[in-house]
C-alpha cells in the first residue's frame, strides 16, 4: 500500500484572499495530504515585525475551513521547518516564489522544494494599502 504524499506550506494567511486559496489549491494538487504551518501572533510580531488583523485562532479557523487543508499547525520559529519535515513525514515543501532559493536546504532533509508564483494582482499588503486610501 502506498503512503500518503505529504505537502507542507507556511504562512500568516491574514486577510485571507484568493491568492492564498490559489497557493493552497496548487500545493494540495502535488500530494494527498496538506499541512499548513500558520505563523503565530508572537512569531509574526517578534520575527516578521508584522501585526495581524486576525489573531491566530481566528486565522486557524479560516484555514481549517478550506477544503484543500488537512491539518494546521503553529509556526513559532524559522528553525522549525527542518523538524517539521521529519516530524510530519513531509515529502514536498511549498512556498511562494518571493522566497525562491531561501529554503533549498530542505532538500537535504529529503523534501522536494517548490516555489509557486504569487497571484500577481493580489496581496495582503496591497489590500491593507488600498483600504488606507
pTM score, whole prediction: 0.89
Q: What is the pLDDT of residues 97-112, one digit of tens each?
A: 989 999 999 999 999 9
Name the active-site residue from 5, 28, 50, 128: 50
**What's the CA gap between 65 and 92, in Å, rounded?**
22
Name the active-site residue from 5, 28, 48, 128: 48
H or E element in which residue 57 lies:
helix 56-64
Whether 50 sits among the annotated catalytic residues: the reply is yes
Q: What is the pLDDT of residues 45-81, one digit of tens each?
A: 999 888 999 999 999 999 999 999 999 999 999 999 9
**What's the CA gap between 51 and 6, in Å, rounded?**
30
What sign does the CA torsion over 27, 13, 123, 104 have?
negative
Whether 132 sits among the annotated catalytic residues: the reply is no
Residues 6-132: name the CATH superfamily. HUPs (3.40.50.620)
First to last CA, the chain: 56
Q: Is the pLDDT of residue 89 over 70?
A: yes
**What's the CA gap between 9 and 23, in Å, rounded?**
9
Domain ranges of the chain: 6-132
Amino acid at each position: 500500500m502506498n503512503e500518503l504524499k505529504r505537502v507542507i506550506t507556511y504562512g500568516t494567511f491574514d486577510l485571507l484572499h484568493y491568492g492564498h486559496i490559489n497557493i493552497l489549491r496548487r500545493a494540495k494538487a502535488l500530494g494527498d495530504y496538506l499541512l499548513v504551518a500558520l505563523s503565530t501572533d508572537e512569531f509574526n510580531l517578534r520575527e516578521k515585525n508584522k501585526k495581524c488583523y486576525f489573531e491566530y485562532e481566528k486565522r486557524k479557523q479560516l484555514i481549517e475551513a478550506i477544503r484543500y487543508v488537512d491539518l494546521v499547525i503553529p509556526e513559532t520559529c524559522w528553525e522549525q521547518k527542518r523538524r517539521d519535515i521529519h516530524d510530519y513525514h513531509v515529502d514536498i515543501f511549498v512556498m511562494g516564489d518571493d522566497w525562491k532559493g531561501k529554503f533549498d536546504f530542505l532538500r537535504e532533509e529529503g523534501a522536494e522544494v517548490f516555489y509557486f508564483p504569487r497571484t500577481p494582482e493580489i496581496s495582503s499588503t496591497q489590500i491593507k494599502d488600498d483600504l488606507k486610501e
